[in-house]
Amino acid sequence: MSIEIKAPTFPESVADGTIATWHKQPGEACSADDLIVDIETDKVVLEVVAPEDGVISEILKGEGGTVLSDEVIAHFTPGAAGAAAPAAAEAAASAGDADKVGPAARKLIEENGLDASAIPGSGKNGGITKEDVQNFMKNGAPAPAPAAAPAAPAPAAPSVNVVAGERVEKRVPMTRLRATIAKRLVEAQQSAAMLTTYNEVNMKPVMELRKQYKDLFEKTHNGTRLGFMSFFVKAATEALKKFPAVNASIDGNDMVYHGYQDIGVAVSTERGLMVPVLRDTDAMSLADVEGTIADFGKRGREGKLGMDDMQGGTFTITNGGVFGSLMSTPILNPPQTAILGMHKIQERPMAVNGQVEILPMMYLALSYDHRMIDGKEAVQFLVTIKDLLEDPARMLLEV
């Protein structure tokens, strides 16, 4: 008896998805809950697992194919691998080496005119994966000879060496996630009256507080480390309460003021930038913020962030400083009206009470939508964050 393997049920905001990678091939044994296929949507990569022990008897949607919510993408046969193995073997006999080539790898081979038999496979039973083809091309795959070339092989040799040796190019389609990020960033720049205001903050008070209490903090909160992001989240939360327009969004001709603070924190992953959201940050402690951000980062690297993690958000913080950025202009995350950019902490000579001191300084950037926020509010919002960070006790006293 065959079981239908279906795509997950997508939220209303997601129209369809793309088959990213088949981790199991027809005839290959699967255990219950083994990962079968990754489906990439506009926001996250969803995993589909085996319903029970058995084998995939048929794949209906190959890698790169578009799927709708709850669409059947494969047929699964419960039981031992032997139940589907004869069918797989029969197909292999008729198709030859083609069965050893995955759908994505086959497409790449055809596009570049490569010989599949010359490509070493690293997959199961010597199967050729997309990565095998890419590595083969990167390491200098010989150019395919034209149909009329056999009569004059010698003249063709020099051109083969030139092509294979240097100036290799690789054309890779954008992933759905990367294409969506690009589209949203362009839309943000085209549809919003975006401006950026800058300031700088002396990080010495926060750094000294962190140095004094980080060991006790980690011990008290079961290994949660005290970083800088929690201070910025709490400072931004207090500033958002004082300046509601920065915490608002635009919906058509309406301005929507949110009575809560849901702050998105940009997380860089191999698949692209993701912005999971901290909910009700006003009610979160520093330990709650640090623990949740650490969990977001871990799940982001593993590709396990869910759609619920990234829905909503009333304000965003992005930290280019972890990569060494000294100053940048962050782009709005629609429909939000503002985003805060953190940067690298850099020691600089500063004038303090008529004396020159070397202080750890950070440039802050606030990009905002001028349709919703006036320049005065934007500047005062950023100054509020600066003041709270330079005197962290104010966050505890809420003054």
Q: Which residues are catalytic?
A: 370, 374
From residue 368, give the alpha-carbon distance in Å to each of 8, 312, 365. 36, 18, 10
Question: Token digits for 214?
Answer: 């980080």
Region of residue 291 (left: phi > 0; alpha: psi -120 to 50; beta: else): alpha
CA-based max dimension of the chain: 87
Question: Token digits for 151?
Answer: 């009569």
3-state secondary structure of 2: coil
Q: Which residue has the tokens 């709708």?
A: 68
Cβ neighbours around 388 below 10 Å, total: 24
Concatenated DSSP letters for 356-380?
Answer: EEEEEEEEEEEEEETTT--HHHHHH
**Kind of pairing, strands 267-269 and 338-342?**
unpaired
DSSP 125: G
The helix (H) or strand (E) run that includes residue 230 is helix 229-242
